Amino acid sequence: MNSIRTRLLVWLLLPLTAIAAIVSLETFYAAKRISSDLHDRTLLAAMLTLSENIVASSGSLLADATLEMLTDNLGDEFFYYVKGPEGAFVTGYSGYPRPPEGVELIDAEPIFYDGVYAGAPVRVVAVRQLLSGRELNGWTTITTWQQNTERDELTLSLFARSLVRLILLVLAAGAIVWFAVSVGLRPLVQLQQAIENRTPYDLNPIKRAMPVELSGIVNSMNELFERVARSKRNRERFIGNAAHQLRNPVAAIKVQAQAALASGKQDDLESGLEQIAETSDETGKMINQMLAGASAHALSGESMEVFDLAKTVANATQTVAANALDKGQEISLNLSPETLSYRGNEILLQEAIVNLVENAIRHNDENTAIEVSLSVNDDDIEISVADTGQGFSEEEFLELSQPFLTRGENQNGSGLGLSISKDISKSHGGYLATTALPGGKKISIMLPIIKTAA
């Protein structure tokens, strides 16, 4: 049943076979009714012929020629029994089949019933009629019967012919269905060939005309191709930008080391080592940020656990609070609620919050205020970082959310903070948003509300 063709064939032929079986059963009973009705009429005609012969012969036995003619016409051996007025035996065969219990003869109205004669099943017709003749005058009961061999053979013959036609019809329907299914599934084969003929680098959308039923699959595949191509472009751009960003600090470390060695002075050597240490710290931080971004893209349900999101926001704020104070900035924390169970990756979310706060510290002047907040509404959880520094438009925000992009007048950052925060938010089913404030701006991590087990 792994084949669609086989499934369609089975599910089409099974109901058809069931209907054919029901029709065959109905055909059998119809053939039996037709055969019984035909033989009953023939048996009644034979009885009427017998009645005329009895009157003509004054109750004598049927002539051999007449009996032979009736037997040939009926197909089975013919028997009769005649009982005259007052129950007197007139002529016929002894031991005739009696009517069933409770069945009485009505004057001039024949009755039919099944019986047994000489150990064989027979069909019987009996009638009580008024005869007028020289020797036979009065109410006479005539009973005739015949074996069921011919009737059963006719029933089976009619049923067999109908059954053969039904079987041929089912087989023909099966062949037609197989052909129709094969033709109907041909677009699937063509789609498979179109995909197999592609190279690993061909991510262009499928433009082959397809039936309506396959349009959804083709559209989904084209969307998948687009996402893969976009991911591939982003990865290639990220690798190129990362290589470019890492080239500068590595070159700077080399120049600083060469300058310190060439000077030969103790003070220059110590100063060079301090510069090398600072550059190494910045480079290491950038590498960690790039690893965080890669981890956000590869985040799965297995790496998520339940933790206190409010505590994580507080820890992230405390981590960089000293930097704000050193720069003469005021930083505050507003948690509402003060505890909040959330299921996600605590390390990545803390990294995202730290990035937003560091960006606010780095890109704002002294004597500015920064507020980190946690709030919950009906639809989302909002972790926001608001400041009183310079704002930016939606277009600028979208541009700065790209990796390695910073403002033109401030190039002392790696350009990864907003990008990584956006990726981490997205990996948790949320998004990064910005809101213009009077005299400042607010950047928020919006997370979906997830019910956690108690």
Report residue 31 as tokens: 């053939």
Lowest mean pLDDT among 143-157, 342-356, 398-412: 398-412
pLDDT of residue 372: 93
Structure confidence by residue, pLDDT tens digits, 24-66: 888 888 888 887 888 888 888 878 777 777 666 655 555 555 6
User: Beta-strand (E) ranges in 224-269?
Assistant: none
CB neighbours of 330 closer than 8 A, spacing ≥ 6? 324, 368, 369, 370
- Identity of residue 391: G
Which of 208, 210, 209, 205 lies closest to 228, judged by CA? 205
Domains annotated for the chain, with CATH where assigned, are: 4-156 (3.30.450), 212-297 (1.10.287.130), 301-448 (3.30.565.10)
Q: What percent of the chain has pLDDT over 70?
A: 79
What phi and psi values does residue 38 have, to the nearest 5 degrees?
-65, -45
Least-confidence region, from 45-54, 80-89, 163-172: 45-54
Tell me what percent of the residues of the chain surpass a pLDDT of 90. 6
Write out the H or E segment, with its range, that includes residue 426.
Answer: helix 417-427
Cα torsion through 221, 225, 231, 233, rounded to 10 = -170
Report d(CA 98, CA 49) in Å as an integer. Answer: 21
List Cβ neighbours of 351 (8 Å cut-off, separation of 6 or more).
289, 292, 420, 424
Contact 354, 316 (CB under 8 A): yes
Beta strands across the sheet bearing 330-336: 330-336, 369-376, 380-387, 440-448, 431-437
**What is the per-residue pLDDT for 333?**
92
Q: Strand, coil or helix: what is 47?
A: helix
Q: On the CB side of 163, how many CA atoms lie within 13 Å of its CA?
A: 12
Of residues 2 and 441, the one with the higher pLDDT is: 441
* Phi-psi category of residue 118: left, alpha or beta, with phi > 0 → left and psi -120 to 50 → alpha: left
Q: If you search the block for the tokens 């052909």, which residue do you land on?
A: 179
127: left (phi over 0), alpha (psi -120 to 50) or beta: beta
pLDDT in tens, 95-119: 888 888 887 888 878 889 888 888 8
**Overall average pLDDT of the 286-313 stretch:** 70
**Residue of 140, 118, 119, 123 whose CA lies nearest to 131:** 140
pLDDT number for residue 411: 47
Give the SS3 label for residue 141: strand
Q: How far apart are the first and last CA of the chain?
A: 44
